[in-house]
Amino acid sequence: MAQAVVHGKAQSVPSPEPAFLAADVGGTHARIGLVSPHPDGRRPVTVLEYRRYACAEWPSLTAVLKDFVAQLSAGTHVDHCAVASAGYVLGDAIVNDNLPWPVSIRDIRESLGISRLAVINDFEAVAYATQFMTQADTVPVIESSAPQVAGPVLVMGPGTGLGSAVLLPGKPHATVLATEAGQISLAPGNELEIDILRWLARDRAYVSYEHALSGPGLLNLYNAICALRGATPSLRLPADVTRNAVERTDAAAVEALNVFCGLLGSFVGDLVMLYGARGGVYLAGGILPQIRDLLLSSTFAERYFNKGVMRPFLQQVPVRLMEHGQLGVIGAAGLYLDGQHAH
């Protein structure tokens, strides 16, 4: 099973309180839930209360969590917390360049009076939660006529960064493999993408997929295309590029998003082959739901299947788009409970 990094006196706490905090913290939003165990096979927890916070509006994760706790019903006490976040734990800190502020584990525990805090990879949490989704919760991007088979499930998505994890079905609990696939070297698939890679490599020694397939990456693609086309970039934020592409009011933005979708299709196909993801693919992240129609009409599928002799294999692997929503909160809580069972 996926292992959380747990801070606290584990030996004196044999099981979680009936209700505990679960947080899904990204570079843009922090999603916080009060959850209670509900391991009935359909879902690990019941979400009792839930709020989403814009990270830029708060000075720290501690402040976000304190605000959430302050709004709980009188008498509600929480003593445990599971935090899903990108990055890794180094001493007292969660280290992640995409978070808007440093995160101190000690500060959270002391400020909220929490005796036990688990830190879990954010895409591990989302991948874990896909076990409890239904097809109605998703939108098909690539459908397959092949029967659904048990096997590794790939979950990946661009947002502030580029996250990826693999769910490995098993008993009594699934195992989740966290990956740093977003840091793989960017592989261009046509002449334009070769030119973009060359442009991106002007001021960095290494170009990863995250430099193209993320919010900042989309802006990189837009700026590269403007430079290659001899145009002056007028858009400053990834959201501006997305909006102008969807509304088709800026030619460079439209082209950037088309390149984005093509690279994404190629990358997803590579990861499916790498992990043998017969169980399917779920696309997550903050960007894709906003560009759903463009994604469906893009070269995503063409590039996904363009893998030579592996095309028949990929034709058996469905790809679906999902909304992030509460999945990270549910997954963080579920992984935390699995960890509790293991101790």
Cβ atoms of 176 and 124 within 8 Å: the answer is yes
Q: What is the CATH classification number for the domain harbouring 52? A: 3.30.420.40
Residue 134 belongs to a domain? no
Average pLDDT, the chain: 89
Q: What is the per-residue pLDDT for 41?
A: 60
Residue 244 belongs to a domain? yes
Give the mean model confidence (pLDDT) for residues 157-176: 90
Q: What is the pLDDT of residues 196-205, one digit of tens each?
A: 999 999 999 9
Residues 67 and 165 in one domain: no
Residues 101 and 148 in one domain: no
Residues 88 and 28 in one domain: yes
Residues 197 and 112 in one domain: no
Q: Read off φ and ψ for residue 270, nearest 5 degrees.
A: -60, -45
Residues 220 and 76 in one domain: no
Residue 139 belongs to a domain? no
Residues 309 and 337 in one domain: no
Give the mean model confidence (pLDDT) for residues 260-272: 98
How many domains are contained in the chain? 2
Whether residue 195 is predicted with pLDDT greater than 80 in this model: the reply is: yes
Residue 16 — pLDDT band, cuts 50, 70, 90? very low
Q: What distance in Å separates the CA atoms of residue 298 and residue 317, rounded to the nearest whole number?
A: 19
Give the mean model confidence (pLDDT) for residues 156-176: 91
Residue 211 — pLDDT band, cuts 50, 70, 90? very high
Residue 10 — pLDDT band, cuts 50, 70, 90? very low
Residues 252 and 174 in one domain: yes
Q: What is the per-residue pLDDT for 341?
A: 33
Residue 133 belongs to a domain? no
Residue 135 belongs to a domain? no
Q: What is the CATH classification number for the domain harbouring 247? A: 3.40.367.20
Residue 183 — pLDDT band, cuts 50, 70, 90? very high
Residue 137 belongs to a domain? no
Residues 45 and 118 in one domain: yes
In the chain, the percentage of residues whose pLDDT exceeds 70 is: 93
Handedness of CA 139, 29, 64, 57 (dihedral sign): negative
Whether residue 14 is predicted with pLDDT greater than 50 in this model: the reply is: no
Give the mean model confidence (pLDDT) for residues 210-237: 97
Cβ atoms of 117 and 80 within 8 Å: the answer is yes
Q: What is the per-residue pLDDT for 5?
A: 53
Residues 159 and 73 in one domain: no
Whether residue 9 is predicted with pLDDT greater than 50 in this model: the reply is: no
Q: What is the per-residue pLDDT for 338?
A: 85
Residues 88 and 40 in one domain: yes
Whether residue 63 is predicted with pLDDT greater than 50 in this model: the reply is: yes
The parent domain of residue 247 ranges over 144-317
Residues 202 and 301 in one domain: yes
Residue 136 belongs to a domain? no
Q: Kindly give, in sequence order, each residue whose CB lies less than 8 Å from that of residue 164, ignoring residues fewer than 6 positions away.
A: 123, 154, 155, 156, 157, 179, 180, 181, 182, 271
Residues 95 and 207 in one domain: no
160 compared with 250, residue with greater pLDDT: 250
Q: What distance in Å separates the CA atoms of residue 155 and residue 285, rounded to the nearest whole number?
A: 10
Give the mean model confidence (pLDDT) for residues 85-101: 80
Angle between helices 238-247 and 215-229 (to 10 degrees): 70
Q: What is the per-residue pLDDT for 7?
A: 56
Whether residue 27 is predicted with pLDDT greater than 70 in this model: the reply is: yes
Tell me, what amino acid is at 60?
A: S
Residue 221 belongs to a domain? yes
Q: What distance in Å separates the CA atoms of residue 201 and residue 11, rounded to the nearest whole number?
A: 50
Give the mean model confidence (pLDDT) for residues 42-50: 88
Tell me, what amino acid is at 5?
A: V
Question: ∠ CA 27-297-310 to the nearest 5 degrees?
Answer: 85
